[in-house]
Structure 1
């Protein structure tokens, strides 16, 4: 999570991010593949954007969505573009991406969307962080004036950014020629008049006397709403980190250019003739050359907000300095508990967040502070800040961590809503990620680390099981898999394997995700289990004492059951070694099989989750086969007289070949589906099949060799 996204006090960042994620996922599927229509989701997103605006990361994600090919309809894309209200200045990357999508080509947006994006650039021109970036793209924009569908918007944008250096004889000639060709297009005439303002002695003739566009703001009401959003965001972020601090000069007037009311500035009154004060340092060379001579300032609590003092204490750690800082923070925590602090809590949290994010450390006195702060915290104000700060907590005894911090945190946050559960779950994912980064930096195995990580994963397992019941959506499943991506890294990374025990997900969770309706969810799950298997193989090759046979069998059951469903057409089978039948009771399996038999559909219940029949993979499988048939026809084959009606089975392939259809072997077909899934960005299914089933890997190796 970026620093901007962490601010969730007034801005519904969680709702916006989740809705954007839903729209992005839907954009990757055709309308027929989607479970439901995407239009209500787009309407919801448009409403959220109109109400709250967009932070930089969210804006970048939506600009990427509308500028690259997808399966979203033009009306939905246009709705999104019309509601792109930036809450902060727009950065260069966004502007460059928009300009880069202009023009003709299969990978370009439609001209209607290009025109809407150009109109959007005109309307947000005044809040572009670096307006020079548009000037640098002047040639690109000018050369697109031949495109009639976007000419009006292009001329307006060019009129805004044109400066004397842009007015060149060849451009004047080009505009005059274009004006004649278009019958004195008002937009072109308007741009010519802008050129004439710079060189009136050169731009002459009848062209500039024709009717010209006035280049007024395209949508004043849109501008008014944008101004309101910008003002609201500015008010929310007042007294916060709005500009970067000079890393080698002490911060003045608080951490943000204004007095925070919480921290004192760096002042040193005990300097000597031979010592150097921090206030005298103005460059990295001055800091390095005088490191040993620098005196500590009077108020060491300034370390929380001053990057230079943070560097000094990092390079010259002193127990006395940390003791003084700890005492001050403990006193502040007592004031908060008693309600006597008289200070805006959000300001203090902003400073603590800036400290941990810069130093990537969580000092011991922070534990004391938050153990007191959480007692009086309302659970809402500055929630994003609290969760971000606590995600930097180090690896300490989990029992103490849970009692002192995590349990009080959960009590304050959880309120029987999905949003609160998701926010807490995202916090735990970030915490595990930071722990993983820390463990990767160690050269030797740390004591108690394995038990601490295992306790955290076990605790989050319960939250995952709750989430899949309270919010059974593809977005929630994706967030859950984000967490297990981290656990899979711990299990499979060679450097991290020695530090931690392999913690597998709960069995019910694995099967719930396996039977989800999203091919992306299934693929990610298979990829994670594949990495787990690699970790177990390495661990079992060196020692068998770490894991009991029951634990290994439980994990092997995941592999066998999923392979039985997808590859072997033996779903819910319990007779194979290690198979658990996906935890489906035998009585239910028999009832389901009887129901399927009564339908006379030519398949049994054990086949309905295979590559060809699966409600998740079936469309992708038949799409692969259709591509094979199309390729055969493109080669001019006269033998293809029959196309497969689907679903593909071993028997149907034999029958098809005998009826002048495509000749494909059963194994070749299934391996082809796995390759097709990989090309579609869903390589996890194939990874699990290759790593689990020896005959599949051998067959694949033979195909690659040929």
Structure 2
């Protein structure tokens, strides 16, 4: 038996391998020659199997043990079969071994062990690697029905794997005959009813009116333990590998780690002669080739948890499917409102999130569920999941969405804390991102895009001003800028601009961010305004009716005020065209001017927000200039007569040159600072200056 490295095995696996080796050796010897009893080893083996499950190699060796002649007693063999807990999927070869050991013969296991193995196949049917293998063994299994000792387990297994192609006249006749001979044995009657689902016109009611087996799971507690083992192994495997599971097989709950069985699995019971069920699909080729023949499963709410059904409904959309799933969710919400337990709510939300993440779509009908659920929601349970799901809300009329979903959401989720406000801001950012992606996929103009995107941006503008006042800081600024980077992209991308109307940020927000002490914040703001400017230029080149002069001038005021501060050393100037003086009123402006005059500084208030003096830029500016001086010295041109102490002005550069210092023009210095900022990952300031200042625009066009 090959051993895997210890770090790839669950704890205790080495002990299991050792005890398994002991049991295998003992099974080859008669009891009198073993030297010690084997039952304690069997008990230890079954206990370890129950605790951690069996890997394929271990499972294969134990199946070999119970299906071939050996010297273990029947009680020990039965105990081993009862504790065959696979940690992974069960291979087709292993299933063939079990099927091959069935029947009468000197080398076959006892009928008791055969019955236990069939019962085991029923319980692990859902984790067989290749579901088609049992279907291929249908004839072998069916022909064993005359063996009374294993008939009940055989009927149950056949009921699970029977499809229309298996129901043939000779099998129907054989079942009817065997049923009469056994006095309408309940398992046979139950199997006849399965056959009747496919051919009700052939199997008359008289044959199936007797007492029938319900074919319930033989041991629900065993199944629960198996699910736990499978989940634990899947989590260990997931921690070592990011490889996705196959998306072209029907999913089963035990693979996705769900504890709840509220969302049903995919089952199809009304297939026709020429149709195919999703359960029969094994790979992408089978899915593509049989796409038009696939029948819808019984319960379409299974779409929430089954990737294959999701792909099917994407490729063959059906309004009925979403309606049925929506009805299920609506009924579930009504049950919750009626006082039903919400123990499975997180499971439902996780599966709904998985669905919308995979399909990138939240059907409008599903919004009804949230509208009703928000009436009883406490604002905390599953909040992150709800926000993730609703971020895929389709692009519909925003006012209707706000009244029906977003307003109730905010009413419960906003609790007066900054975190709750930022959570809602992030939600609207993700929603706008989803809408942007959707608009990029359209060929024609969207009916709701212009008004809905504008209404969303306007609503978030107010939210941003609120959160900016309650929690001024770099992290808050970052979340706000994330949203406006999206709106700027909408404004500057010609494909998106065709759908929407440009909505500029509030003036107060722009100026608050402009005076931030964070260079990253200021650079991102400048980059955003640059994109807005490009958008306005494109929009105004085609139509001037969508934007009033006052609206455009308000935006131009942002550009002029920021350029006055950074580039022109004219901060708070109100005499230039479109300038607003950063909205600073006269009284505080006079107070600041008076204070600066008492400091005996060489610069005035209007120059203190330039590249050289600004607390945000000054370190970068002087670092750039000192880098120039160091480079000059390294080139071996001799010592500099003087080095600049900073801050740098037009006059100080002239004085420096006359003292034997570095000779740099005022314009080259400022352009150099912009380049330095760009190399430091802060390109926004340079982008804004190069796209706004006339002399820089000319210089840029001259280089091109």
Distance 1:396 1:370 in 2: 16
Per the TM alignment, residue 622 of structure 1 is displaced from its structure 2 partner at its CA by: 0.8
Per the TM alignment, residue 659 of structure 1 is displaced from its structure 2 partner at its CA by: 1.0
Distance 2:623 2:504 in 1: 34
What is aligned with 1:322? 322
What is aligned with 1:395? 395
Per the TM alignment, residue 700 of structure 1 is displaced from its structure 2 partner at its CA by: 4.8
Contact 2:633 2:639 survives alignment (8 Å) = no
Distance 2:691 2:336 in 1: 56
Per the TM alignment, residue 315 of structure 1 is displaced from its structure 2 partner at its CA by: 1.6
Matches within 5 A, 1:95-114: none
Contact 1:573 1:579 survives alignment (8 Å) = yes
Runs of 4+ in 1 over 4 A off after TM superposition: 241-245
Per the TM alignment, residue 341 of structure 1 is displaced from its structure 2 partner at its CA by: 4.6
Distance 1:558 1:323 in 2: 49
Contact 2:253 2:261 survives alignment (8 Å) = no
CA offsets 1:67-102 (integer angstroms, 9 cap, x no match): xxxxxxxxxxxxxxxxxxxxxxxxxxxxxxxxxxxx
Structure number, greater radius of gyration: 2
What is aligned with 2:287? 287
Per the TM alignment, residue 246 of structure 1 is displaced from its structure 2 partner at its CA by: 2.7
Matches within 5 A, 1:146-161: none
Per the TM alignment, residue 689 of structure 1 is displaced from its structure 2 partner at its CA by: 0.4
Q: Structure 2 vs 1, CA of residues 271 and 699 (structure 1 numbering), >3 Å: closer, same or farther?
A: closer
Contact 2:429 2:483 survives alignment (8 Å) = yes
Matched residue count: 469
**Are 2:383 and 1:383 aligned?**
yes
Contact 2:267 2:297 survives alignment (8 Å) = yes
Distance 1:244 1:625 in 2: 52
Q: Which moved more, 1:256-265 or 1:656-665?
A: 256-265
What is aligned with 2:673? 673
What is aligned with 2:200? none
What is aligned with 2:421? 421
Contact 1:559 1:692 survives alignment (8 Å) = yes
Q: Structure 2 vs 1, CA of residues 561 and 315 (structure 1 numbering), >3 Å: closer, same or farther?
A: same
The structure, 1 or 2, with the larger RCO (C-alpha pairs under 8 Å, 6+ apart) is 1
Distance 1:372 1:601 in 2: 65
**Are 2:642 and 1:642 aligned?**
yes
Contact 2:490 2:496 survives alignment (8 Å) = yes
Contact 2:364 2:394 survives alignment (8 Å) = no
CA offsets 1:36-72 (integer angstroms, 9 cap, x no match): xxxxxxxxxxxxxxxxxxxxxxxxxxxxxxxxxxxxx
Q: Which runs of 5+ in 1 are unaligned?
A: 1-230
Q: Structure 2 vs 1, CA of residues 457 and 255 (structure 1 numbering), >3 Å: closer, same or farther?
A: farther
Distance 2:592 2:397 in 1: 48
Distance 2:695 2:321 in 1: 64
What is aligned with 1:434? 434
Per the TM alignment, residue 323 of structure 1 is displaced from its structure 2 partner at its CA by: 2.4
Contact 2:523 2:685 survives alignment (8 Å) = yes
Per the TM alignment, residue 391 of structure 1 is displaced from its structure 2 partner at its CA by: 0.3
**Counterpart secondary structure, 2:374:** helix
**Are 2:334 and 1:334 aligned?**
yes
What is aligned with 1:606? 606
Per the TM alignment, residue 309 of structure 1 is displaced from its structure 2 partner at its CA by: 1.2
Per the TM alignment, residue 262 of structure 1 is displaced from its structure 2 partner at its CA by: 1.6
**Counterpart secondary structure, 1:662:** coil
CA offsets 1:520-545 (integer angstroms, 9 cap, x no match): 11111001100100010111111110
Contact 1:353 1:388 survives alignment (8 Å) = yes
Contact 1:639 1:660 survives alignment (8 Å) = no
**Counterpart secondary structure, 1:476:** helix
Contact 1:425 1:460 survives alignment (8 Å) = yes
Q: Structure 2 vs 1, CA of residues 416 and 638 (structure 1 numbering), >3 Å: closer, same or farther?
A: same
Contact 2:258 2:347 survives alignment (8 Å) = no
Q: Which moved more, 1:300-309 or 1:322-331?
A: 322-331
**TM-score normalised according to structure 1 size:** 0.64
What is aligned with 1:623? 623
What is aligned with 2:52? none
Per the TM alignment, residue 272 of structure 1 is displaced from its structure 2 partner at its CA by: 2.0
CA offsets 1:579-612 (integer angstroms, 9 cap, x no match): 0000000221122111101111111100000010
Per the TM alignment, residue 560 of structure 1 is displaced from its structure 2 partner at its CA by: 0.1
What is aligned with 2:513? 513
What is aligned with 1:304? 304
What is aligned with 1:533? 533
What is aligned with 1:249? 249
Per the TM alignment, residue 335 of structure 1 is displaced from its structure 2 partner at its CA by: 0.6
**Counterpart secondary structure, 2:297:** coil
**Counterpart secondary structure, 1:599:** coil
What is aligned with 1:350? 350
Per the TM alignment, residue 395 of structure 1 is displaced from its structure 2 partner at its CA by: 0.8
Distance 1:344 1:257 in 2: 14
Per the TM alignment, residue 509 of structure 1 is displaced from its structure 2 partner at its CA by: 0.3
Q: Structure 2 vs 1, CA of residues 516 and 679 (structure 1 numbering), >3 Å: closer, same or farther?
A: same
**Are 2:576 and 1:585 aligned?**
no
Contact 1:425 1:463 survives alignment (8 Å) = yes
What is aligned with 2:459? 459
Distance 1:281 1:584 in 2: 69
**Counterpart secondary structure, 2:697:** helix
What is aligned with 1:210? none
CA offsets 1:639-661 (integer angstroms, 9 cap, x no match): 62111111111111111111111
What is aligned with 1:50? none
What is aligned with 2:405? 405
What is aligned with 2:632? 632
Contact 1:454 1:501 survives alignment (8 Å) = yes
Distance 2:284 2:441 in 1: 26
Per the TM alignment, residue 245 of structure 1 is displaced from its structure 2 partner at its CA by: 4.4
Contact 1:566 1:610 survives alignment (8 Å) = yes
**Counterpart secondary structure, 2:256:** coil
CA offsets 1:651-701 (integer angstroms, 9 cap, x no match): 111111111111111111111111111111111001000000120233356
Q: Which runs of 5+ in 2 are unaligned?
A: 1-227
**Are 2:558 and 1:553 aligned?**
no
**Counterpart secondary structure, 1:431:** helix
**Counterpart secondary structure, 1:375:** coil
Matches within 5 A, 1:88-127: none
**Counterpart secondary structure, 1:688:** helix
CA offsets 1:239-288 (integer angstroms, 9 cap, x no match): xx999543111112366244523211111111122211111111111111
What is aligned with 2:364? 364
Q: Structure 2 vs 1, CA of residues 342 and 426 (structure 1 numbering), >3 Å: closer, same or farther?
A: closer
**TM-score normalised according to structure 2 size:** 0.65
What is aligned with 2:664? 664
Distance 1:495 1:528 in 2: 18
Per the TM alignment, residue 450 of structure 1 is displaced from its structure 2 partner at its CA by: 0.7
What is aligned with 2:652? 652
Q: Structure 2 vs 1, CA of residues 627 and 276 (structure 1 numbering), >3 Å: closer, same or farther?
A: same
**Counterpart secondary structure, 1:644:** coil
What is aligned with 2:158? none
Contact 1:255 1:305 survives alignment (8 Å) = no
RMSD: 2.0
Distance 1:464 1:322 in 2: 36
Distance 2:490 2:460 in 1: 15
